[in-house]
Amino acid sequence: PFDVLVVGGGPAGAAAAIYAARKGLTTGVVADKFGGQVAETVGIENFISVSKTEGPKLVANLESHVRDYDVDIMDNQRGISLSQDGGFNVELESGAHLQSQSIILATGARWREMNVPGEQAYRGKGVAYCPHCDGPLFKGKRVAVIGGGNSGIEAAIDLANIVEHVTVLEFDSKLRADEVLQAKAQSMGNITIIKQAMTTEVLGDGNRVTGLQYTDRATNESHYVELAGIFVQIGLIPNTEWLKGVVDLTERGEVIVDAKGQTSIPGVYAAGDMTNSPFKQIIIAMGSGATASLGAFDYLIRQTEP
């Protein structure tokens, strides 16, 4: 059995594995797809000390750093259940079972998509999901934010400081964002909010986004908006379906962790985008992976030998 089994191979899982291995612990990483969301990212400019890198390059660096240590990486393997039987047991989709004295959950999250024509084709070519990451790429341009909840209006306010103009498209007849955010957005001068708007298509010239088409749900008329970027802010879904009823989750499905990254089960830790951490970024995921790993070490040194 492992001392530490990390489930998830994104930045949080990689950091957790390195910290565990450096404590001399027998460490395994099981990942559906090593690299996680970073693998899908084009430019990364906010990974501190690295001015500019690309997703696949950072993934290769993550993997080679983990491989500097004696870590058992099990890629293309999905965890489907976690149970406790003295130690812990993770069942994989393949039918295999892995045993470990402690567990670090790091299965990340995924952005909810609009599921309209053009969205996939222009992903990373104008269709974006992370304003902190990609906002500066649209300096001086016109963009849209899809979604009028807190994350959508926060994104609009953030982007309005950088871009020329922001159009917010909200499906409902009212915004769900906090009043104070709505008031701030109204006061900015370069944010237009359109309600009852159903985005129907992302349009582009083959290389980049050029606009979008939406239907006004009140009149059923279709409208075109010319723009260079579309920020989709309709939710980040934690990959925790397999943990329901096992560890405590928030109502949004995020794993609740304490300051040491411990979940509601002693010996089970969690890190990164799957947790109730308020901000979801690579550098934050790595920090929380390190925290969870040191937390697991603290836990293990207090266990009596089985």
Please tell me whether residue 11 binds ligand FAD under the rule CB under 6 A.
yes
State which of positions 173-232 bind ligand FAD (CB under 6 A). Answer: none
Q: In what order do the strands lie in the sheet with 127-128?
A: 127-128, 229-232, 142-146, 165-169, 191-194
Q: Least distance in Å: CB of 96 to ligand FAD? A: 12
DSSP H helices, the chain, are: 11-21, 55-67, 131-134, 150-160, 179-187, 282-301
Please tell me whether residue 44 binds ligand FAD under the rule CB under 6 A.
yes
DSSP, res 84: E
Q: Which is nearer to ligand FAD, 102 or 182 (CB)?
A: 102
Give the binding range for ligand FAD (CB under 6 A) out of 181-189, 215-223, 279-287, 294-302: 279-287
Interface with ligand FAD (CB under 6 A), residue from 157, 273, 290, 292: 273
Please tell me whether residue 106 binds ligand FAD under the rule CB under 6 A.
yes
The gap between the terminal CA atoms of the chain, to the nearest Å, is 12
Site string for ligand FAD, 125-164 (x = CB under 6 A): ----xx--x-------------------------------
Please tell me whether residue 269 binds ligand FAD under the rule CB under 6 A.
no
DSSP, res 71: E
Q: Is beta strand 27-31 parallel, antiparallel or unpaired with respect to 2-7?
A: parallel
Residue 294 and residue 20 in contact, taking contact as beta carbons nearer than 8 Å: no
> How distant is the alpha carbon of residue 77 from its chain centre?
19
Contacting residues toward ligand FAD, per CB under 6 A: 7-13, 30-34, 36-38, 40-41, 44, 46, 78-79, 106-109, 111, 129-130, 133, 239, 242, 272-273, 280-283, 285
